[in-house]
Amino acid sequence: MASNKKKGGVGPWTVSRHVVQVIILCLFAAPLLLTGWGLAGAYIGTGGEFALDVTPADMAVWGSLSSSQIFGIDLLDPFATAQVIAASKTVVGTMVWCLPILIGFGIIRGRAFCGWACPVNLLGEAVDWLRGKLGIQVSEMPVPRIAKPIIALAVLVLSAITSIPVFESFSPIGAFSRGLLFGSLLGVYTLVAIVVAELFWGHRVWCRSLCPLGGFYQVVGTVGVLSVKIDHDTCITCNKCKQACLVDPAVLDAAVAGDEDRVRSGDCMLCGKCVDHCPTGALKIGPAAPGLKL
């Protein structure tokens, strides 16, 4: 079976993932554009031919990846909610709206959020492309990926100590959303730092090793029921899957070595790049028992 990746191009999983990422960004941008508010804080007026005489909050979809409303249903970022609970030492009823997101990604695979929804991952892939064009060589894994869940735990502890949702004050996802939607520069330094670090220090170092949200979803991902599965009879151990991996080539080690029939690590983002790059079609994404492994 041939590779899913077209010669000189990208494979269907990568294309699909990028399409989903763009659609998500458009869904959050559309309410502002349709109501005449514009993007990046620009006001284009509500008197235009296509502008609706409503506010963005009246639209079917409104908000950001941190907090949004879809058809009148509030949805909250589970990790942000956990920080608020830690900081306020209080649980209120509205916090239950983080559960659909938590349960949904828990069932699928926690870090699928990182691979398919997070705009910072899209930024990281753009940095990968730029680094390749510039011929810059960086370390593959300067910080072990186990650092992420440790940092996530530290964020919750610090939130409890300081009574402030610590990560939300510098979250690159929040900075991206505020910049795109409202023109805010608050937190943009985090995005700049990520670009510089990934361009000159370590390959995908933020997403692989430092992001506390990624660490949170890494833990959640241990119970996901979708995995990258491998057909050992077809695999030729060329390691092209490991070279393509956005997370850490080590998550594929046991599967490629023949010790496992799937990628068990909760760190897998189900991005599909390994599937796209497999020259024999030995890899596929499908249902499997939870990996129960960080």
Q: In this structure, is residue 30 part of a structural domain?
A: no
Rounded distance, CA 230 to CA 257, Å? 11
Q: In this structure, is residue 11 part of a structural domain?
A: yes
Query: Given pLDDT bands bounded at 50, 70 and 90, which one contains residue 209?
Result: very high
State the total domains in the chain: 1
Query: Given pLDDT bands bounded at 50, 70 and 90, which one contains residue 7?
Result: very low
**Do β-strands 67-70 and 283-287 pair in parallel, antiparallel, or remain unpaired?**
unpaired
pLDDT value at residue 151: 99
pLDDT digits (tens, 9 = 90+) for 112-155: 999 999 999 999 999 999 999 999 999 999 999 999 999 999 99
Q: Which domain holds residue 148?
A: 1-17+67-294
pTM (predicted TM-score): 0.92
Q: In this structure, is residue 59 part of a structural domain?
A: no
pLDDT value at residue 66: 86
Q: In this structure, is residue 232 part of a structural domain?
A: yes
SS3 sequence of 188-254 = HHHHHHHHHHHHHCECCHHHHHHCHHHHHHHHHHHHCCEEEEECCCCCCCCCHHHHHCCCCHHHHHH
Q: In this structure, is residue 43 part of a structural domain?
A: no
pLDDT digits (tens, 9 = 90+) for 211-252: 999 999 999 999 999 999 999 999 999 999 999 999 999 999
Q: In this structure, is residue 112 part of a structural domain?
A: yes
Q: Work out the percent of the chain whose per-residue pLDDT is above 70.
A: 90
Indicate if the pLDDT at residue 285 is higher than 90: yes
pLDDT digits (tens, 9 = 90+) for 248-271: 999 999 999 999 999 999 999 999
With beta carbons less than 8 A apart as the criterion, state whether 150 and 224 touch: no
Q: In this structure, is residue 240 part of a structural domain?
A: yes
